[in-house]
Chains A and B, each alone.
Chain A
Amino acid sequence: MNSVALLVVLPFVGSLMGLAGKLARAPRFFSIAAVLPLVPMAGLLAMSLPAVRAGSVISYAMGGWPEPIGIVLHLDGLAWLSSVLIVVIAVAVCVASFCRTGYGSSFFFFLMILISGMQMVVLTGDIFTLFVSFEIVALAAYVLIAYDQTDAGLLASLKYLILSTVGILFFLFGVFLIYRDFGTLSLATIRTLASERGGPADGLTVTRSIHFAVAALCVGIGVRTAFIPFHTWLPEAHAYAPHPVSAILSGVVIKVSFLAMIRIVWTLSAGYLNELLLWIGAITSILAVIWALAQSDTKRLLAYHSISQMGYVLAAIGAATATSLTAGFSHAVNHALFKSLLFLVAGTAIRMTGERDLFRAPAIGRHSPILAAAFLVGALSISGIPPFNGFASKQLVGTALGGSPAYLLLRITAVGTMASFIKVSRIVVPVFRLSPRRVATPASIDPLVTGAVAPAGTLILFPAIFLALLCLLSGLFAPSLAAFYSDLLAPAALRQGSPVAIAVAQPGGLASLYKSAKLIETAIVIVAGWLLYRLVLTPPGKRIAGSIKRIAPELRTVLLYFVVGLGLFALFAYV
C-alpha cells in the first residue's frame, strides 16, 4: 500500500538532494542523486501492475486519515498509465539535461518537484488536493521556463503565470461551488452523493450552480491543457523554455491536467460537455496547425503542434464512443513520446548551430546522423506515417470519431501537420532545401563551412534513441497496446462514472490497421502535405504566413478570450 505514497514522496527526496547540492561542494554528484529516485519509482509501478490489471484500486490515506477527512491517493488504471508515462518521459528528459553542464543542481530540484506534483495530480482523489498539486506543478514550471533568464523566457514565464493563476482562481471558485453543494471535496464521495440524489442523468445536471462549477473547473484546467481560447501562453512558454524543459512540458505536463479534467467531467456527469469538447478539439487542432505552418522559429512551430495534437485527444474524448477513451489516451501517450523526442533533438540542433530560425539554421544531419534519424522518426510519427505510432493512434481517433463531421477538420489537420514537418525537417536533412529563394548565407559565416557547429555530445543520443525506439515499437505493436490500455482504462472509467462503457479492444493483429484504404488515405495526405508545403513557400503563401505569424496576442486580448471561454462553457450547460 505504501508504494502509492512513495510515488509522490520519492521525487521529493530527489529534490532534497538537488537543494543540498546547492550548498555542497560537489553539485554534479547531487544532481545525479536527485534524479536517482526515478529508478525505484519505475520499480514500484512495475510491481503494482498485476493488482491494477486485475481491476482493483490501490488506495492510500495520507497520515492514516480516511476518505472524507484526509488526503487519499488512488492508483487505478488511468493513474497507473499516466504515472508510467511521467516516469518514462522524466527519465529521458533527466538524461538529456545532463548533456549540458549549465544546469546546476537547483534545476534538478525544480524538475523533481515538477514530477512529484504531476504524480499527485494523477493520483489524488479530491479536487482541493488537485488544486494544490496543479499549483506545485505550475510553480516548478514557471521557474524552469525562466531558468536561463533570457528576456523571452522571463516574459513567457510571467505570461504563463498570470494566465494560469487567473485560470486557477476560476478553478478554485468551482471548488467552492462544489463544496457548497455537496459539503465534500472527495470525488468518490461526490459520486456516491450524486447517485443518491437520483442518478447522474437528472439529479446533478439540473442544479445551476453545478453547471457553473463544472464550467469554472473546465476553464481552470483548460488553461493548463491549452485548448483553443486558453492556448495563448503555450507557444511562448514552450518555445523559450530550456530545451529539456520544453520536452517535459509538452510531453506530459499538458496531458496530466487533461486527464484530471476527464475525471472531473465524468464524476460530475457533465456528459453534456462532450459535444463542446469534440468541437473545441477539432477547431483547436486545425487552427493551431495553421499557426504552426506560419512559424519560422523551430521550437515555436513544435509548440503550436502540441496544441494541435491535444486537439486530437480532446476530440477523441469528446466523441464519447466506446473506443474514444482508448483512442484519446493512446494518442496522448504517443504524442508525449514523439513530441519529447522532437523537442530534445530540435533543442540539441539549436544548441549545436546557435540558430533558432529554421530557414537559416544549417542541417545537422551530416554532423550527427543518429540525431537526424531520431528526428525523422519523430516527424514521421507526428505526421501519421506507418509503421510509427502516430499512424496507429490517429487511426484509432478516426475510429472513435466515427462519421462525425469533426473528423473532416482532423483530416485537414493531418495535411497541415505533414506540410509543417516537411518544412521543419530541413533543420536535420538538407534534402528539403528545395526552395531557391532561401536566404543565401555567405560562405564565410555559414556555420557548416566554418565548422562552428558544436558537437552534440554522446549523452543526448541515449534519450533520442530510447524515445525513437519507443515510437517505432508502440507503432508496431499498436493493436496489442490498445488492448492493454483499454483493459486498464475500462474499470477506472466505470468507477469514475464514464458516460459510456469502454469497450475492451481485442488485439486483432496488424492487419486491422493496415487496410489498403487507410494506406491510400495516408498517401493522399502525404501528397497533399507536400503540395501545401510548396504552396506556403510561394510569395502569396509567405505573405499570408507572415501576417498570421504577426497575430501575437498580447496579455490583454488573451485575458478577454478567457472570459469568452468561460461564457462558452457556462452557456453550453444551460442549452
Chain B
Amino acid sequence: MPAKLIVQGLSHHYPDEYTGESVHALDDINLEVEDGEFVSVVGPSGCGKSTLLNILAGLLPYREGSVTVDGNVIDGPGHDRGVVFQEHAILPWRTVARNIGHGLELQKVPKGERNRKVKEFIDLVGLEGFEDRYPHELSGGMKQRCAVARTLCADPVVMLMDEPFAAVDAQTRITLQEELIRISIATKKTILFITHAVDEAAFLADRCMVFSRRPGRLIATVDINIPRQDRNWNEMSSNSEFTRARDQILKLVRGEVSADEA
C-alpha cells in the first residue's frame, strides 16, 4: 500500500519581512508517512519545521517539489489534513460540542450523525460534562483536548500537529502525551507531529525525523521500536530503547546546533 503522505523534493524560499532578501527555509525534503504511522519531526527553532507544516496544511503555497496525501496533490487546505495548532485555535464563540462538531457541520453532515460522532470524540478525549462550556471556561489542557477532538472528529486522512503541547504546563503535557498515545491506538490515525522537544519526539513517535538548521534539511531518521501500548512515562525512564533513541536524537539536534555556531 502506498504511503498516506508523500513529500518529494520539497524546497521553499520566502522573502524576509524586513530586508526583503530571499530566505531559504526548506531544502529538498523527502519523506513518507505510512498508514497509521506516528512520525515526529524535531529540529532546532528556525529549522523550517513550521514552514513544512504550513505547506502540508495547505496554508502556504509551494513551488518546488510535490506533496501528496492519499495520492492527491495538495493545493490549499482541505479536510483530508487536520491540524492541531500550538495556540488554542478553538473558536471562543462556540461551545466545546459545537467546536468539535464544526468540521462535520462544514461538510454538511446531518445533525443526528454529527451529534453521535461528537459524543464519541468527547468521550475519547475525556471532556464529558463540558459539552456546553465555552473555551474560556476550560483549562489549557482541556482546550488542547478539545482541539484534538475537533481535528479527529472531521476524520482527516492525516493529522498534523504543530507543537500542540508547547503552551501547557509540564504535568499537563505528560498527561496529554500519554492520552495522545491512547488516542492514536484507538483511532489508528496517521499522525505527523512537529516539536522541538526531544523527549516528546522520542516518546510519541514510531519514527523521528531530525531537521537541520536553516535551510531545513532532513539529516537523519531514528526508529523507536517500542509497542504503542507500552508507552507511558513510568516505564520510559528505564526503557533502554527509549533512552537510546532519545540520546541519539539529542546528539543529532545538538550536533547540528554546535556545528552551526562553531
Instruction: Decide whether A and B assemble into one complex.
Output: no
Which residues of A are at the interface with B, using a C-beta cutoff of 8 A? none
